[in-house]
């Protein structure tokens, strides 16, 4: 029991020790250039970087200076992790103020948007399951969740 208590105490102390790196760093098997945004990317309203892709999932960084407009995916679920900035996620008809460390689940067919509410760009880490298919992005044109692609001929 004493060993467990000591281990817990040391773990808590380690959590309180200042880290030598900046907060909100994404560590990925991809090369180190993923961490630095180019000048062109910094000037863009929205930038999405593909970090890694498997048949089961895809992993991305999203940098938002303004807004990622309303959209939904029919084939993939999405997990958004706020890495940096002041972000508002519109999920269905809800507006969710978010801060670094927040995790937002976006089930398939649920419209979502990402709005930057801060002075600096917001950064999010995205995980799509299964992997994002670029043909599965459906822009949503109104608040009811109906899409310009509402005449779906495929069985749901």
Look up the CATH number of the domain holding residue 68.
2.60.120.10
Contact of 104 with 79, CB cutoff 8 Å = yes
Whether residue 155 lies inside any domain: the answer is no
For range 16-35, the mean pLDDT: 57
Residue 9 lies in a domain: no
pLDDT score of 32: 52
Q: How many domains does the chain have?
A: 1
In a domain, 136, yes or no: yes
Give 90-95 contacts, CB < 8 A, sequence gap 24+.
Answer: 90/114, 90/115, 92/145, 93/143
pLDDT in the model for residue 47: 95
**pLDDT score of 1:** 46
Q: How far is CA 151 from CA 20, 38, 92, 102, 146, in A?
A: 53, 40, 20, 35, 10
Enumerate residues 6+ apart whose C-beta is below 8 A from 75: 108, 130, 133, 136
Residue ranges of the alpha helices (H) in 38-101? 39-43
Percent of the chain with pLDDT strictly greater than 70: 68
Is 10 domain-assigned? no
Taking only the tens place, the pLDDT of each residue in 85-136 is 999 999 999 999 999 999 999 999 999 999 999 999 999 999 999 999 999 9
Which whole number is the average pLDDT over 51-58?
94
Q: What percent of the chain has pLDDT over 90?
A: 65
pLDDT at position 141 is 85
């Amino acid at each position: 029991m004493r060993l467990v208590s000591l281990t817990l105490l040391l773990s808590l102390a380690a959590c309180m020790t200042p880290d030598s790196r900046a907060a909100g760093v994404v560590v990925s098997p991809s090369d180190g250039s993923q961490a630095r945004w180019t000048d062109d990317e910094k000037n863009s309203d929205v930038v999405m970087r593909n970090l890694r892709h498997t048949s089961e999932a895809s992993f991305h960084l999203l940098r938002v200076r303004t807004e990622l407009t309303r959209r939904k995916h029919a084939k993939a679920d999405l997990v958004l992790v706020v890495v940096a900035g002041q972000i508002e996620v519109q999920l269905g008809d809800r507006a969710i103020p978010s801060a670094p460390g927040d995790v937002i689940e976006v089930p398939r067919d649920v419209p979502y948007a990402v709005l930057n509410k801060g002075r600096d760009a917001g950064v999010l880490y995205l995980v799509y399951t299964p992997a994002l298919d670029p043909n599965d992005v459906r822009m949503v044109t109104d608040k009811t969740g109906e899409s310009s692609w509402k005449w779906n001929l495929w069985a749901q």
